[in-house]
Amino acid sequence: QVQLVESGGGLVQAGGSLRLSCATSGRSFSSYVLGWFRQAPGKEREFVAAISWSGGRTNYADSVKGRFTITRDNAKNTVYLEMNSLKLEDTAAYYCAAKTTGWTNVYAKGYDYWGQGTQVTVSS
């Protein structure tokens, strides 16, 4: 069983920064593709970023490219999402997820394990 626990969300002004963390438990963490998704009220869950098991490959949604950075520390079983130049439209609940097979990573249904989410609110 894999458990994921997000932290680091909060209230930030537009233009500010936040760093989300997702601590995982369970074996084989280092072999999983890890992703971040977000969901705003009334909207579908959308892909934000993903990182390969080694950290050598990353993928970003166009809406966050150049502003967000995903990294992982396999020694700490943790994945991070550094968010800079935050915009009002980044307001959402952010979820981390683990994918046990394959690299295709933009579809939520392809992930096997999910965290409970952490709220990010960007104010003007």
What's the pLDDT at 103? 86
Computed over every residue of the chain, the mean pLDDT equals 94
Task: Take residue 64 and report the two structure tokens written for it.
Answer: 């966050």
40-64: average pLDDT: 95
Q: What is the rounded distance in angstroms from the CA atom of residue 108 to the CA atom of residue 48?
A: 10
pLDDT in tens, 18-44: 999 999 987 777 789 999 999 999 999
pLDDT in tens, 74-86: 899 999 999 999 9
What confidence tier does 1 reach under pLDDT thresholds 50, 70, 90? confident
63-88: average pLDDT: 96
